[in-house]
């Protein structure tokens, strides 16, 4: 006896058969200002979780960017009270690499409806997308086969007509 397939309760989604096999984010309000306080707070959390000292993090950022980077600058970039100091992109990239806080990338893009996937997560998302695409193609093939089987096919002659000699 085959297992009985349960139908979801009305209004309850089914994670495995819905249109989106992977969680989807929707963009926030379009003209929303960039939340620098949130970025600085997240960077500060990353520093606290990092096993390296702040001095070592600053020194490694300097090495990765090829420009001097001091502890004072690191503290200014992560202090919520220093609204006039925003970290540049190349230094932010170095900061993420040095602290190992790759989750910062995801936090940065979530307001735009994007999601950063790494390693196995990315492969699983790709697998889900390919399965979804395969299911759609299978549905289309079955539909075409039913359409073709519904009526007989007339085969026209493919011979070239003979011309006058």
**The model's pTM:** 0.63
Residue with tokens 């519904």: 150
pLDDT for 12 equals: 45
Between the alpha carbon of residue 133 and those of residues 34, 115, 147, the distances in Å are: 36, 20, 21
pLDDT for 90 equals: 94
Question: Binning pLDDT at 50, 70 and 90, where does residue 145 land?
Answer: confident
Cα distance between residue 1 and residue 107, in whole Å:
48
**DSSP, residue by residue, 100-114:** T-THHHHHHHGGGT-
């Amino acid at each position: 006896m085959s297992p009985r397939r349960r139908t979801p309760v009305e209004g309850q989604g089914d994670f495995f058969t819905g249109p989106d096999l992977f969680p989807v984010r929707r963009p926030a309000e379009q003209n929303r200002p960039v939340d620098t306080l949130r970025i600085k707070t997240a960077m500060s959390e990353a520093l606290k979780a990092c096993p390296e000292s702040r001095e070592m993090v600053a020194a490694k950022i300097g090495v990765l960017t090829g420009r001097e980077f001091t502890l004072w600058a690191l503290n200014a970039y992560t202090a919520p009270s220093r609204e006039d100091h925003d970290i540049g992109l190349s230094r932010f990239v170095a900061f993420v690499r040095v602290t190992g806080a790759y989750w910062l990338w995801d936090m940065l893009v979530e307001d735009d409806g994007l999601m950063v996937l790494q390693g196995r997560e990315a492969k699983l998302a790709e697998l889900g997308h390919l399965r979804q695409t395969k299911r759609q193609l299978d549905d289309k093939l079955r539909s075409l086969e039913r359409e073709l089987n519904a009526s007989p096919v007339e085969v026209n002659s493919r011979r070239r007509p003979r011309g006058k000699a």
